[in-house]
Amino acid sequence: MNSQNIKQRFGIIGNSYKLNQGLEIAIQVAETDLSVLITGESGTGKEFFPQIIHQLSARKHNSYIAVNCGAIPEGTIDSELFGHEKGSFTGAHESRKGYFDVANNGTIFLDEVGELPLSTQVRLLRVLESGEYIKVGSSKVQKTNVRVIAATNINIIEAIQSGKFREDLYYRLNTVPISMPALRERGDDIYLLFRKFVADFSEKYKMPAVRLDTEAQNILSNYRWSGNVRQLKNITEQICIIEEERQITAKILKKYLPEYNTNKLPVIYSGGDGIDAKTFSSEREILYKILFDMKSDMNELKKVVKELIATKNTNNNLTEHQKQVIETQYPDKTFDNINNVENYSNNNFNENKDVNDSNNIQDTEEVIEENLSLADKEKELIFKALEKHENKRKQASEELGISERTLYRKLKEYGYND
């Protein structure tokens, strides 16, 4: 069975390369009993792959059980997976089979496997290695023949490094890896999925189908979709139910896209004392870079002036390169000859002496160095923002891209009084 038939059978929409690659791997590995680890962000549709693998395997006539490991409390997860004996803990009034017993000769899908406690990971590793497990409150070893497929939306490598996930279990689960792409990586599939959801909801709610204009389609395809397919489906359902107009414009669509109109500042504040400090530090780095670039531009201009003086250009004409450098730094000025350069240099550097005095050029560089105080620039920007917004600190903090708490702290530091 090829991937196109699989898509039709399981209702999978899309033609992106990564999606097709994942389907091909699932088809190839289905006939084996190898463990599979599916990775990808939440909401990408990872749950389809275990079903595909099970239905194409020799186990398809036996049980298929999907377990959300993150939804089961840590105190009961072992009992849920492996069962327990009567009286093994408070409330255990009778013996109970676990999922590995119920799914014997079938397939068990462990969703969010990265959320398993370390003690449960040890038990799971034993099942994968030998097919053996022990019920809670029992000493009798039980056998099971289960095909294990797992999925996670966390970075397992980071979890291993932080001691939250066993490395040996990772390699047992990751015999065959499948990566599910995020929706933003499936640009051409986004509108196809939208149309599919529209058709489904129109039939479900007995309403005419909505349509997107060209601009709305572009916005839909270029949005980040942090919630992936799940978020797209949710928003599509909202639009189908709420909007009376069946022709959806870009303006209407934007109302349903969280943070679409958020101003993308160089530094984004997200709260907390630690974040405040990091945010302001990043702003200082940006300011320093601007000042450094200004210094480099001024040094370049100084070199041009030195070069002109040294060459004693008799025809008083600038080279094309010299004109380009000066006009780039001062686009409102046109230099036709060296005399203009000398006059402009004298006026702008506040020189009273002849431009031939090399000490004047050195003094210019020293003035720039003195103006590179980050604290002074920071203070100047804060005071300007307050003046602009008439001492309204909330608006000033938004203009600066920092929190009000940070702004209050800085004003106190600089001794500012209203």
- pLDDT of 182 > 50? The answer is yes
SS3 breakdown of the chain: % helix, strand, coil, rounded to 5? 55, 10, 35
Q: How many CB atoms lie within 10 A of CB 316?
A: 12
CATH code for the domain defined by 3-181: 3.40.50.300
Distance CA 410, CA 240 (A): 49
Distance CA 218, CA 208 (A): 22
Distance CA 346, CA 264 (A): 41
The residue among 39, 19, 23 whose CA lies nearest residue 150 is 39
For residue 332, name the pLDDT band (cuts at 50, 70, 90): low
206, 212, 218, 221 alpha-carbon torsion, rounded to 10°? 10
Taking the domains of the chain in order of start, what are their residue ranges? 3-181, 186-254, 274-370, 373-413
Q: Tell me, what DSSP letter sits at residue 136?
A: B
pLDDT at position 196: 95
Identify the weakest region by mean pLDDT among 71-85, 169-183, 195-209, 393-407: 393-407
- Would you say the CATH fold of 373-413 matches that of 186-254? no
pLDDT at position 261: 58
pLDDT at position 13: 93
- Grouping H, G, I as helix, E, B as strand and the rest as coil, residue 232 is helix
E strand or H helix that includes residue 107 = strand 107-111
Distance CA 358, CA 374 (A): 28
What do you get for the CA distance between the two ends of the chain, in Å? 75
Distance CA 252, CA 235 (A): 12
311, 316, 322, 327 alpha-carbon torsion, rounded to 10°? 150
Task: Tell me the whole-structure pTM to 2 decimals.
Answer: 0.62
Q: Which residues contact 336 (CB under 8 A, 6 or more apart)?
A: 318
- Grouping H, G, I as helix, E, B as strand and the rest as coil, residue 1 is coil
**Above pLDDT 70, what percent of the chain?**
77
> If you average pLDDT over residues 202-230, what whole number do you get?
95
**Measured CA angle at 217 (ends 216, 223), to 5 deg:** 85
- pLDDT of 236 > 90? The answer is yes
pLDDT at position 189: 95
pLDDT at position 245: 92
Distance CA 205, CA 203 (A): 6
What Cα–Cα distance (Å) separates residue 180 from each residue in 33, 128, 183, 222?
Answer: 21, 23, 9, 19
Considering the four listed CATH numbers 2.60.120, 1.10.3470, 1.10.10, 2.30.30, the one that applies to the domain covering 373-413 is 1.10.10
Distance CA 220, CA 254 (A): 9
The residue among 339, 351, 349, 282 whose CA lies nearest residue 308 is 339
Token pair 């020799």: residue: 58
| CATH architecture of residue range(s) 186-254 | Orthogonal Bundle (1.10)
